[in-house]
Structure 1
Amino acid sequence: MSKSRVLIKFAKNKNMTEEAYINKLPFELFEIILRKINGSVLGKCRRVCKGWKELIDSSEYLWHEKCRKEFKNSSKIAKRKSGNQCTWYHIYRNLYQWSDLKEYDIEIREFYKFSLSDISHVLNIDYGILPLRDDKGTFLYDTSTLKYITVALPERNCLKIMNNDYVTIMQVKSGIYIQRTVDSDTPEFLTEAYLKTDDFILANTILYLHHNRNIFSLDLTLQEFTPEFIVTIDYSIKEMQYNEGVLYLFTDYGYIATLDTSSHCFKVKYRPINCPVEWIKQIKHIRAVDDKNFVCYSRNLIKIEVDQYKHLYLEFPPITALFFYVDIILFATGDGKILLYRLSSQETSFKPTFETLARLPEGKVAVQLDVCERRSGPLIVASTFFELYVIEIPFFPYEKQTTKSTFTADKLHMYKRMQKLKERLKSNNNRD
């Protein structure tokens, strides 16, 4: 009999009280058994008794392992975007619910009206923060409550904001501003810096960046913000990603360069994207996790490659925006629809099949898409040239956030960094 069946049988033993189940089973054995079962069974085990629920809910490791095994790549994207507002348990159950959206009443509403027409009003959601760029600067919203965070950055040319427990980084056209955690125990450390760069990726304590074709790394735990040169790439870089110790660089001419950062020789390996050469020139946008999980697309061309599936379409619905969730992909089309493309459902299909997730008001077309998991369910943001629409899927409506923002509670250090970064930007506004 499998360990999972032993667990369930043990839980149903009527000769013992519910409180005795958890007390009789040694903790070490209990945890070993829980590691062997899948996330769906683990969720059912939470309902056995109060003791089991408290133990399972308190184990981030268990749910992290379930996400890693069942939603390897999409769970990384989800956790990065939600930050601390969602535990690995919330991430797992949300991704599990994405398998069937038909039973949910999806809500769509206009959230923000921009002053200027722009194709890139919304910066990528990161660490639970939704940055919006308008004529007066960049404004931040807490994704858990959609409440305004009282930090207005006077920077209209902001391209990207990323945060972790070490730094906040803002990218503008000419480079990046770095702001170290304000409450650092090492006052002699440099707390802020400006670096000239084209793009960057934040990998825990290491910052990778490139300027032209030159790749640099920066150890954020060191006293000075001094980038170290790594290598020069043979082609211009279109997209940079980091995953499990490897740096992936998607270049023009359809090549993927991989660089093992754990090696001191920094040897670059190149491989071409499996796509007809004459189509490569048409590819304008790339969204990637690594060299085996990515999507390349233009208006009517799409090349999808993930661990299990490979798709290539030339005649595709006109794409105006895309969100790559690995197992599924969200498309915005020219007729105002938000479509869901589920890779697993394409196995027996000769033509791409879609589920219509939502439709914007008549005449509105999304030019940007992003997704953030919340305790109550996913938040999808769809930006047009003038409006921002939010689409909420109430997987768990009883867990809706209170009106009090979670930002000031567990992200106070980030709030302080943003305030100081704002001051830094004011004094250096003529630099960009």
Structure 2
Amino acid sequence: MSGNISINSLPIETFTEILIKIDGNSLARCRRVCKQWKEAIDETDIIWQEMCFREFKNSSKIAKRKSGDTVGWYHIYRNLKLWADISSFEKTIKEFYKFNLHDRSHLLDINYGVIPLKDAKGTFFYDAAFLKYIPVALSDINCLKIWNSDYVTVIQIKSGIFIQRTVIDPSYATEAFYKADNFVLNGDYLYFYNNRDVYKCNLLCRELIPKLLLRCAYDLKEIQFNNEVIHLFTDCGKIINILKDNSIQERIINCPVEWIKHIKNITAVDDKNFICYSRNLFKIETEDYQHLYLDFPPITALFFYIDVVIIGLRNGSILLYRLSSQKKATRPIFETLAELPDGKFPVQLDVYERKAGPMIAAATFFELYLIEVTFFPHEQPVKNTFTSNKLHMYKRLQKLKERLQDS
């Protein structure tokens, strides 16, 4: 028997282990070897997940959280790869929704492939991939945040958070409510704080009972969870980290102390990747770049994508701020992504990665505009199909609607 083994005869597990070890450009060339290789590579999501974590460690996690199971790691990887040339691609701007209520918080965080919109009659949902209305509306107009995973949905209103999960064992609790000011959902755990108390809730346990982790000495503004660490941003400019062993680390934002009181907004991924900004102050810190401006153009909306920042201005411009192009002691450099029509300006910005390319959502006080960038024109969705995880999510939203009405 011949000792020669063809690579095509290798088990898929071995083939995958080989491909994970190469870089993204080489992997793209491997896709072009033959139809068999292309199908094997494209259908093995773990390969592209590894590529994303290697080349876009934090921005790919943001993109995946927003897309859920609608878009695979392959599409996220190739989209993020082309963000470097986004200014050269065709863009279309369209008004998607007109609101009845004057508000600066119409657009809630796009999450798990769902666009939540607040209006005078409640909170409505649209599927981000197909831009189709999801026939579940929450009557409560005070929704602040809605996050989903494969088996749990968490909705924050002014008084606290509602938890609704999909369970296999009927003896498990399916819902709970806790007073909370903010939360973050990560895998099997929910983290939230109420006033200065920080809690952790294991979503796999029979009962949804939170565990107190910390009574903080400072007022809190933001909570994030990344790489087994809880990151808390405080009003006084301190960052507090709760480590896996429950030990506490504390440091202050690298910024002149007299400027900290001017910080109004914080957008963070962890304690090494965050933005603090207000009317006159713009402080950005990532693992690769640090910038601090006092005379920054007034910001009306912002989306932090780690390597780039999308900024909305009062004149209606939506700008791309590329961190790698900024030099020390120089004025910030912007690329114009879009201009909103009729003197409108964005008060909220968000990004959703589609198979065809990114979609930027820009909400004004009365309208929602969608800016679609086409990287791959042949990747348009052909039919409106939902995964089983999405269907479970719609059922959870329906139950939360009933719960909110009862309360």
Is residue 394 of structure 1 aligned with residue 364 of structure 2? no
Which residue does 2:204 correspond to in 1? Answer: 221
Residue 169 of structure 2 aligns to a residue whose secondary structure is: coil
Which residue does 2:307 correspond to in 1? Answer: 327
Distance in 2 of aligned mates of 1:344 and 1:332? 19
Q: 1:286-327: CA deviations, max 9, x gaps?
A: 111111111111123110100111000011111000000000
Distance in 2 of aligned mates of 1:50 and 1:394? 25
Q: Are the equivalent residues in 2 in contact too, given 1:153–1:422 (CA < 8 A)?
A: yes
Counterpart amino acid of 2:148? N
Residue 134 of structure 2 aligns to a residue whose secondary structure is: strand
Counterpart amino acid of 2:22? I
Deviation at 1:30, TM superposition (A): 4.1
Which residue does 2:286 correspond to in 1? Answer: 306
Counterpart amino acid of 2:374? P
Distance in 2 of aligned mates of 1:159 and 1:353? 33
Q: Mark the runs of 5 or more structure 1 residues left unpaired by the alignment.
A: 1-19
Distance in 2 of aligned mates of 1:315 and 1:254? 20
After superposition, the CA RMSD in angstroms is 1.6
Distance in 2 of aligned mates of 1:277 and 1:312? 13
Counterpart amino acid of 2:34? C
Which residue does 1:248 correspond to in 2? Answer: 231
Which residue does 1:90 correspond to in 2? Answer: 75
Deviation at 1:25, TM superposition (A): 6.2
Q: Mark the runs of 5 or more structure 2 residues left unpaired by the alignment.
A: none
Q: Are the equivalent residues in 2 in contact too, given 1:115–1:135 (CA < 8 A)?
A: yes
Q: 1:98-155: CA deviations, max 9, x gaps?
A: 0102331111111100001001001000000000000000000000011100001111
Q: Are the equivalent residues in 1 in contact too, given 2:363–2:369 (CA < 8 A)?
A: yes
Q: TM-score, normalised by structure 2?
A: 0.96
Q: Are the equivalent residues in 2 in contact too, given 1:38–1:66 (CA < 8 A)?
A: yes
Given candidates 54, 57, 61, the residue that maps to 2:39 is: 54
Counterpart amino acid of 1:420? K
Which residue does 2:184 correspond to in 1? Answer: 201
- CA gap of 1:389–1:28, structure 2 versus 1, over 3 A, is closer
Which residue does 2:356 correspond to in 1? Answer: 376
Identity among equivalent positions (%) equals 58
Q: TM-score, normalised by structure 1?
A: 0.90
Q: 1:384-421: CA deviations, max 9, x gaps?
A: 0000000000111111112x433465411111111111
Q: Are the equivalent residues in 2 in contact too, given 1:126–1:161 (CA < 8 A)?
A: yes
Distance in 2 of aligned mates of 1:41 and 1:100? 20
- CA gap of 1:198–1:339, structure 2 versus 1, over 3 A, is same
Distance in 1 of aligned mates of 2:86 and 2:247? 45
Distance in 2 of aligned mates of 1:224 and 1:324? 35
Is residue 236 of structure 1 aligned with residue 215 of structure 2? no
Residue 85 of structure 2 aligns to a residue whose secondary structure is: coil
Deviation at 1:267, TM superposition (A): 2.4
Q: Kindly tell me the number of residue pairs found equivalent between the two proteins.
A: 403
Which residue does 1:170 correspond to in 2? Answer: 155
Is residue 180 of structure 1 aligned with residue 159 of structure 2? no
Q: Are the equivalent residues in 2 in contact too, given 1:166–1:205 (CA < 8 A)?
A: no
